[in-house]
Structure 1
Amino acid sequence: MPSSKNLIFLLLSLLSLPSPSISSCTSFTFSSNRLFSFCHDLPELSSSLHWTYNTSNSTLSIAFIAPPPSADGWISWGINPTATGMVGTQALLAFHRPDGSLDVQTFNIAAYYPVLPLPLMFDTWGLEAEYVAGAMQMFATVKLPPGMTVLNQVWQVGASVTNGIPDKHEFGPQNLNAKATLDVINSLVETHADSTITEKNAHGVLNAVSWGILLPIGAIVARYLKAFRPEDASWFHLHVSCQLIGYAVGVTGWVTGLDLGSKSKRVEYTTHRNIGMALFSLATLQVFALFVRPKKENKFRSCWNVYHHGVGYAVIVMGVINVFEGISILNPDKKWVHVYITVISVLALFALFLEISSWIVAGRRVSENPAKLYHSHASAATTTAGDGHGHHEHQYFSD
């Protein structure tokens, strides 16, 4: 099994992989002999921008190309004269009409919602759109104020339109980072990367390694190392160390999640947040329960064992589920998903192999010494066996 350092490096590397673009913008050819002086493959949403700027009359002719998430989706490109985000953007939006033809509307986005078609502060004309090979091509000419040659551009795609109004787009990293500065004269594009992207990646990796990997490993150690080496107490110390390290790393990831939530007031991932809160609460309860664990001869030890098993497995299941919730939110390269599925599948198969092997070993011991099995059941009737990490009734899995 790879070390934690190697795994973290691999996960961070996969998270940083760029998303592929449709193709190089220089390979595009347009209908009606449209030609543009410059083009750039934009850094997000597999999109590109082509443009020609006329210095004599301050007009900007553009072609924006992007694949919508669905055939009924929309694409949008705009200029924000006052900020780098969505609010204030003078946007052009292309979508399919009910009859199948394409329409281009102008949207002066004064607020996030509702988004309504309104005239722009810039004069626009030549609004057209085409759908070619799964991508929309939107054309327009914009009259810019004299001297306005460095623009805050914002672009976006969405999956559906209702009555001519675009429905909400996704809020993944690609969508949130779809903005850049455009120098129309010098052909320069400077991206405005999400300042929290590193924190988001760290949040994902910390939680995947802790709740999604270390805690399951700790549970496997407790259940099977004890079964195969009942006379050796090192399994208990290894189990506690693994779980405490996993908890500490998980709390760090949880805190980064709280910080990300405070920075993203308009974006909520309710399911991921609720599972995370419940997960942290149960894990914290599990850690504190370690300090009130009754001794083996205490009559409440069996109740503590049931509690410890139930809460422990609940934390593991919720942790794995929430890792996949986080993956769906970060929407990284598919290889990242495959890495985690592979790791968790290997752990599950390893646990299954040990489960079968332990039962075989236990069965052989019983057949070799049935009197010992009778004695262990007689002892269990008068004392409470176990420290909470095994589950079977016979002595080879007792705690």
Structure 2
Amino acid sequence: MSLFLALVLLLPSSLCHRTKAQWHTCDSGFSISATAMARNITHCRKLQTLGAELGINNYSTTPNSSTSIDVVFSALPPTPQGWIAWGVNPGRHPQMVGTRALIAFNQPSGMPVVNTYNVTADTRRGCKLEPSTIEVGVANKAANYSDETGRLTMAARLTLPPEYNVSKLNHVWQVGPRVVGTVPLAHAKTLHNFDSKETMDLESGVGHSQRHHDIGLREAHGILSVIGWGTLLPIGVIVSRYFRGSPIDTKNKWFYAHVGIQILAFSLGVAAWGIGLSLMERSGQYRAFMGHRIVGILIFCLATLQVMALWLKPKMLDKYRKYWNIYHHFVGYSLIVLIIVNIFKGYAILKPAPRWKWAYIGILIGLSCVALGLEISIWFVFLKPDDKKAQTNASDPSKTSNPN
């Protein structure tokens, strides 16, 4: 089983290997090249999320001094009334809190504008993000909106203080739906929005982020959940429901098969649950995907209770055994419903290729057909003896009771 787990964990990581982005010449392949704000931009690159592009010119810097750089940033806001943002963070890690940002949006007059903002922890708590001065020098601000493409582009000359390491520059970008006055409203809570951050070498343009590693963990989380919770656990229920006491079952083999399958399902499911907790801790987005997380915790708790049945179930002749059986079956069937719901919640979050979702739908249809066929066979066997008995009584009058 450990070998199987290792293969499942390593496969997504190998699939998610990506070529590192770096600076390219700003040719016709970039939206930035089509705007008058290119300002002799010489280096361009496409960022990893939100269809964003970043361009700079040759910057000037000396040891223990500030760095001057011309920046152009372009992205597609969700609506024409939306906003785009790009900023730098002097902290140890690229993150929203602590970012000194430039945010561009269309004013009611239709004229785009660029303001500076200091994103603090209060912003994460839901407080309004008002324009403010920042310690990064900002000059020559300008913005442009394309009616044809719907893209917003903004440009500025930045003067970075010495504490900003140009070889490990933390930068963050974002898009949002609306602006009220000069206050941008919250952006969408999708993985693409949360992944819009990295540490970049300003000279080479190579960016490093935990996103590539997180993609592997997310895929492992999804694969283990589908195999463990979503496939093996229902198979274990089918074994218990339809093979107990069947003609092909001898010496209670159904019980050992049921327990073995459920322990394997629980092991894979717990591995998936642990990876999910790790992803939540790494992202710091504790309020994101709350429904998926709550259902996942409930599944883990109920599944743990089911496994504890190996030690806690009453003896066969115990008077409480009947009520325990009702509880055990109810929790088991409830688990299947919760698992299916949560797996589809996971698909909505990860947004994988449609074939993965349809593959699981195919698994569910297959298991349902098997269960339905076995259910029909059980009822057929249950009703068949009564028919035989009635036929026997009809053919042998001596076996019919005489009311007299």
Q: TM-score range by the shorter chain?
A: 0.7 to 0.9
Q: Which moved more, 1:206-215 or 1:361-370?
A: 361-370
- Is 1:179 paired with 2:197? yes
C-alpha contact (below 8 Å) 1:123/1:143 kept by paired residues: yes
Distance in 1, Cα, partners of 2:56 & 2:205? 12
C-alpha contact (below 8 Å) 1:41/1:49 kept by paired residues: yes
Distance of aligned partners of 1:97 and 1:136 in 2 relative to their CA distance in 1, 3 Å threshold: same
Deviation at 1:369, TM superposition (A): 4.9
Partner of 1:345: 365
Partner of 1:381: none
Which of residues 324, 328, 332 in structure 2 aligns to 1:304?
A: 324
Helix, strand or coil for the counterpart of 1:45?
coil
The residue identity in structure 1 corresponding to 2:185 is: D
Distance in 1, Cα, partners of 2:231 & 2:306? 17
Which of residues 185, 203, 207 in structure 2 aligns to 1:190?
A: 207
Q: How many residues align?
A: 365
Distance in 2, Cα, partners of 1:149 & 1:287? 53
- So what's the TM-score if we normalise by structure 1? 0.76
Aligned 1:209-288 pairs, distance under 5 A: 209-226=227-244, 229=247, 231-232=249-250, 233-268=252-287, 269-288=289-308
Which of residues 46, 52, 74 in structure 2 aligns to 1:41?
A: 46
The residue identity in structure 1 corresponding to 2:261 is: C
Deviation at 1:310, TM superposition (A): 0.5
Deviation at 1:351, TM superposition (A): 2.5
Which of residues 28, 33, 36 in structure 2 aligns to 1:32?
A: 36
Partner of 2:401: none
Distance of aligned partners of 1:32 and 1:291 in 2 relative to their CA distance in 1, 3 Å threshold: closer
The residue identity in structure 2 corresponding to 1:117 is: P
Distance of aligned partners of 1:267 and 1:129 in 2 relative to their CA distance in 1, 3 Å threshold: farther
The residue identity in structure 2 corresponding to 1:345 is: I
Helix, strand or coil for the counterpart of 1:79?
strand
Partner of 1:51: 56
- So what's the TM-score if we normalise by structure 2? 0.75
Partner of 1:12: 12
Gaps of 5+ in 2: 393-404
Distance of aligned partners of 1:13 and 1:43 in 2 relative to their CA distance in 1, 3 Å threshold: same
Question: 1:226-285 CA deviation, whole Å, 9 max, x = no partner?
Answer: 475464332222111111221222233333444444555552243233223322222222
Partner of 2:338: 318
Distance of aligned partners of 1:71 and 1:314 in 2 relative to their CA distance in 1, 3 Å threshold: farther
Which of residues 70, 81, 86 in structure 1 aligns to 2:90?
A: 81
The residue identity in structure 2 corresponding to 1:31 is: T
Distance in 1, Cα, partners of 2:67 & 2:279? 41
Distance in 2, Cα, partners of 1:222 & 1:338? 27
- Is 1:367 paired with 2:371? no
Partner of 1:354: 374
Distance in 2, Cα, partners of 1:183 & 1:11? 29
Deviation at 1:137, TM superposition (A): 3.1
Deviation at 1:5, TM superposition (A): 7.2
Distance of aligned partners of 1:165 and 1:211 in 2 relative to their CA distance in 1, 3 Å threshold: same
Question: 1:333-353 CA deviation, whole Å, 9 max, x = no partner?
Answer: 444434333333332333234
Distance of aligned partners of 1:328 and 1:124 in 2 relative to their CA distance in 1, 3 Å threshold: farther
Aligned 1:370-389 pairs, distance under 5 A: none
Question: 1:355-393 CA deviation, whole Å, 9 max, x = no partner?
Answer: 344444544555345589xxxxxxxxxxxxxxxxxxxxx
Which of residues 128, 143, 151 in structure 2 aligns to 1:136?
A: 151
Partner of 1:207: 225
Distance in 1, Cα, partners of 2:391 & 2:329? 29
Distance in 1, Cα, partners of 2:362 & 2:153? 42
C-alpha contact (below 8 Å) 2:13/2:215 kept by paired residues: no
Distance of aligned partners of 1:116 and 1:371 in 2 relative to their CA distance in 1, 3 Å threshold: farther
Distance of aligned partners of 1:85 and 1:327 in 2 relative to their CA distance in 1, 3 Å threshold: same
- Is 1:65 paired with 2:92? no
Deviation at 1:146, TM superposition (A): 8.3
Question: 1:67-126 CA deviation, whole Å, 9 max, x = no partner?
Answer: 234444322111223443223322111233345553322212243513221133212223
Helix, strand or coil for the counterpart of 1:128?
strand
Q: Which moved more, 1:6-15 or 1:244-253?
A: 6-15
The residue identity in structure 2 corresponding to 1:108 is: N
Q: Which moved more, 1:334-343 or 1:154-163?
A: 334-343
Helix, strand or coil for the counterpart of 1:53?
coil
Distance of aligned partners of 1:153 and 1:365 in 2 relative to their CA distance in 1, 3 Å threshold: same
Deviation at 1:180, TM superposition (A): 2.8
C-alpha contact (below 8 Å) 2:73/2:153 kept by paired residues: yes
Distance of aligned partners of 1:370 and 1:40 in 2 relative to their CA distance in 1, 3 Å threshold: farther
Fraction of identical pairs, as percent = 35
Gaps of 5+ in 1: 373-399
